[in-house]
Amino acid sequence: MSDLFDAVDALVASRAPLPPAEERKRLRTAHGLTLDQVAAALKVRRATVSGWESVKKPTEPRGPEREAYARLLKQLGELYPAPGAKEEPAGTVPAPAVPTGDPAPADARTPSPVPAPEGEASTAAGNPRVGPGRTPLGAPATAPRPTRTTGPASKSRRPGAKKAAPEGGTDPRFENGPLAVIDVEDGQVSAYCPGGLVLDVPAKSLPALVDWTLREAKLGQPKLSGPGKDADPLLVLTEAALERYGLPTTLSDEERLLGRIPEGHKVIGQLARADWKLTKRGFGPWARIYRPATGSERACVQLCVPSWNALDVRHWGSAGQLPPAELARVLGVYASRVMTPRGSTAVTGLELMTALHPPTRASEPDADGNRHSEHNPGSLGKEPVDCAPCEAPDGHPLLADLPRFHVRGPGEKLFEEAYDWARPLTDDECMRRNLVGIDVNMAFAAGANGLVVGLSAPTHVKAPVFDPKLPGSWLVDLSHVDLSRVKTGKDKWADLDASLLPSPFTPKGEQPEGPAWYATPTVAYAVELGYAVRPVEAYVRYENGRYLDTWYQRLRDAYLATMADLGVDADLPPEDFLTAMDDYRTRDPELAIVVSAVKATVKGGLGKLRERPRGEGWRPGQPWRALSRPTWRPDIRAAVISRTRTNLHRKIVKHAAFTGQYPVAVLSDCVVYAADGESPLDVLPYRDGKPLPGGFKLGVNPGLVKHEGTQSVLWGEEVRDRFDAPELNLARYIKDGTVTDVDNGE
């Protein structure tokens, strides 16, 4: 009997009326399906499905394909009913009425009405989302996910796309989000916005696309600080969009070296004829197209081209290969929590500092009621300042008079870098089973938190009295600091085995041998350990402040919010935290990309404070482009690294004094200990769920630690024997045990 019923169902379906072509396409795109996906499921050609959706002359499916297609449309129609649809005769795609009463939750909202065809009036009066060029998508039918969002859900989202609500309220000027991914399918140009909204793009050329973006797209982001400026809209061009607008999908070897396409490219000519300009870096992976500002009005659009390597895989993972809607989600979450990307994560990290502390602000009204631009207190100002000679990297114009092959030592050059230290295992450690690595979360961000840095040029002082509150660089002899006896608290001293500890004063962990230049946090730590210091000279900055605090806070909040969305909350007990961290990246790979990008923004932004020459015919002793920035501040970078390194050493000392355990390797923010167990809980002293005060603590907050990896002691000894390197830094390979390259210091 069931066979008979199946035959009847097939017979009815083979004659069942199908919705119009426009509705077929709406249902497909509402569920986020491409023509290729539907064609593969129905075992037909892509062109066949395209013909079924053709508005001008649609074709009709036949035979078993029609039955399957009708079934697909019926199910999609139940998920995404047409707005205002009434009950239809049997055999058509049903569209249940929207229930009245309490508002539906964000994930169950019905899609906004489809805009009327060109030339016809829209019947959706009163819906602010409906208008020319908009194609709202329906809400997804997805199972609840253990994620948390802190902002309101978007009014229409791409079905199947995971929830990524914008943070905070919506500025009506930028109601469609900070950015859009431009893609082309079936000849239609679409702009995929964060939250799932898709806009129809009428532009036929790149100049027209820029104009449409500024006039109609409602893209951008409000300023992050009162005196600041709104973020320019960002357009991400897929390969299909590049082809549509006459741009190459990849750069040639020569173009990659130059970082841009040639000045004579036809698209650049189109922009010039339309009175659009490019910045000095030209049309590259991150291009800015603008017209000179008139008053307070800006006319600028930024382009991102993933296929030209705009999204570095080291920091953005597979983001460049994501479909448009998913890429819009990843970049949209990053933009809402950090800022709209302005280039690489390093460039964005630096731009975030300026966005939070703009160099100028409007003055109070003068006698005529006019306001003027004035210095914004707490910022780095508009003009660059010279660094101290000891802070200058090799090749800086301040060092032009040095002999050509002169090598500066610690008494001439500030060496504040992250740790790269290791030692041989003791006999007792060789009897342990494992090497356990722990890693400090957002270590350099934590080092920036609360740090007082200079805001002006340095002042040279001879024989100064050291002031731990005064940022600067100090020439002082710290070779007398004895780590075998150190102060660990008020009137508390600890006796340690100094041979098993790295020195806190040098990146390689070696004891200093005489006077050397140090940033303020390093010298202050020597005083904290209980030793007197007598600087010979210093370059200090009397105008100072906690410039990086708001920068740290925004990046910290972005990191914690995204980790919470991935199921790693800030208040988890140690065991639950370790469990949550085990597979957090697999819970939502797209949000895991955001986490990586946020961390890269921290390190890259700090690195940009001492950006080195990047080719361009530079010669030692000549200035390079980065020196013209007020944010070229090697002293600030040095202070952050100094504080991060001494913060880590302080925890290592506390741990050694309390447990008798010493690290066998330290690399930047990773510390390796020998232990019998495999978990950080076999290393870290927890009593009644409470960690050692002032020591390492498990958790997701910046400055707390997570499990980096565990390998056997036999693995470590075998690796060192294989490369004949008894002090090979095993922290470099502890994560997965893979040894890709070895540098034993030779």
Per DSSP, the residues of 720-735 read HHHTT-TT--GGGTTT
Residues of the chain with pLDDT under 50: 86-168, 744-746
| Same domain flag for 196 and 323 | yes
Q: Is 569 contained in some domain? A: no
Q: Which of 310, 341, 372 is the last residue of a domain?
A: 341
Q: What angle do CA 267, 268, 272 make, to 5 degrees?
A: 115
Report whether 217 contacts 191 (CB < 8 A). Answer: yes
| Same domain flag for 218 and 71 | no
Residue 498: strand, helix, or coil: helix
- The contacts of residue 497 (CB under 8 Å, 6+ apart) are 484, 656, 662
Q: Is 64 contained in some domain? A: yes
- The contacts of residue 671 (CB under 8 Å, 6+ apart) are 437, 438, 439, 648, 652, 663, 665, 696, 731
Report whether 139 contacts 111 (CB < 8 A). Answer: yes
Q: What is the 3-state secondary structure (H, E, C) of 505-520?
A: CCCCCCCCCCEEEEEH
Q: What are phi and psi of 290, to 5 degrees?
A: -150, 165
| Same domain flag for 72 and 190 | no
Q: What are phi and psi of 461, to 5 degrees?
A: -130, 135
Q: Is 515 contained in some domain? A: no
Return d(Cα 633, Cα 454) in angstroms, integer. Answer: 9
| Same domain flag for 40 and 159 | no
With tokens 């309220």, the residue in question is 169
The residue among 290, 315, 320 whose CA lies nearest residue 302 is 290
Give residue 548's region: left, alpha or beta (phi > 0; psi -120 to 50).
alpha
Report whether 93 contacts 69 (CB < 8 A). Answer: no
Question: DSSP 3-state helix, strand, coil percentages of the chain (rounded to 5)?
Answer: 35, 15, 50
Q: Is 734 contained in some domain? A: no
Give residue 555's region: left, alpha or beta (phi > 0; psi -120 to 50).
alpha
- The contacts of residue 43 (CB under 8 Å, 6+ apart) are 65
Return d(Cα 98, Cα 109) in angstroms, integer. Answer: 9
Terminal CA-CA length for the chain = 82
| Same domain flag for 205 and 313 | yes
| Same domain flag for 181 and 36 | no
The residue among 105, 239, 253 whose CA lies nearest residue 184 is 239
The residue among 283, 330, 332 whose CA lies nearest residue 304 is 283
**234-237 and 179-185 strand pairing:** parallel
With tokens 């953005």, the residue in question is 316
CA 142 to chain centre: 27
**Cα atoms in the 13 Å half-sphere on the side-chain side of 100:** 1
Q: Is 302 contained in some domain? A: yes
**What total number of domains does the chain contain?**
2
Q: Which residues pair with 434 in a beta bridge?
A: 675, 712
The residue among 667, 639, 390, 658 whose CA lies nearest residue 509 is 667
Return d(Cα 130, Cα 136) in angstroms, integer. Answer: 8
Report whether 355 contacts 631 (CB < 8 A). Answer: no
Residue 235: strand, helix, or coil: strand
Return d(Cα 268, Cα 272) in angstroms, integer. Answer: 6
Among the residues of 484-588, which ranges form H helices?
520-528, 549-565, 574-582, 584-587
From edge to edge, which strands make up the β-sheet containing 670-675?
A: 420-422, 665-667, 670-675, 434-440, 705-712
With tokens 């690595």, the residue in question is 437
CA 366 to chain centre: 42
pLDDT of residue 582: 94
Token code pair at residue 128:
């602010």
Q: Which amino acid is at 218?
A: K
Q: Which of 279, 310, 341 is the last residue of a domain?
A: 341
What single-letter DSSP state applies at residue 625?
A: G
Total-model pTM? 0.79
| Same domain flag for 226 and 324 | yes
pLDDT of residue 517: 98
| Same domain flag for 159 and 47 | no
Q: Is 270 contained in some domain? A: yes
| Same domain flag for 326 and 201 | yes
| Same domain flag for 64 and 213 | no
Return d(Cα 714, Cα 703) in angstroms, integer. Answer: 30
CA 531 to chain centre: 41
The residue among 542, 537, 524, 376 whose CA lies nearest residue 454 is 542
Return d(Cα 276, Cα 294) in angstroms, integer. Answer: 14
DSSP states of 637-692? HHHHHHHHHHHHHHHHHHHHHHH----SEEETTEEEEEESSSSGGGTS-EETTEEP
Q: Which of 321, 341, 361 is the last residue of a domain?
A: 341
Return d(Cα 592, Cα 344) in angstroms, integer. Answer: 18
**CATH no. for residue 20?**
1.10.260
CA 20 to chain centre: 43
Return d(Cα 570, Cα 582) in angstroms, integer. Answer: 15
With tokens 């509705």, the residue in question is 23
Q: How many CB atoms lie within 10 A of CB 580?
A: 18
Q: Is 102 contained in some domain? A: no
Q: Is 680 contained in some domain? A: no
Domain that holds residue 10: 2-79
| Same domain flag for 222 and 319 | yes
pLDDT of residue 30: 81
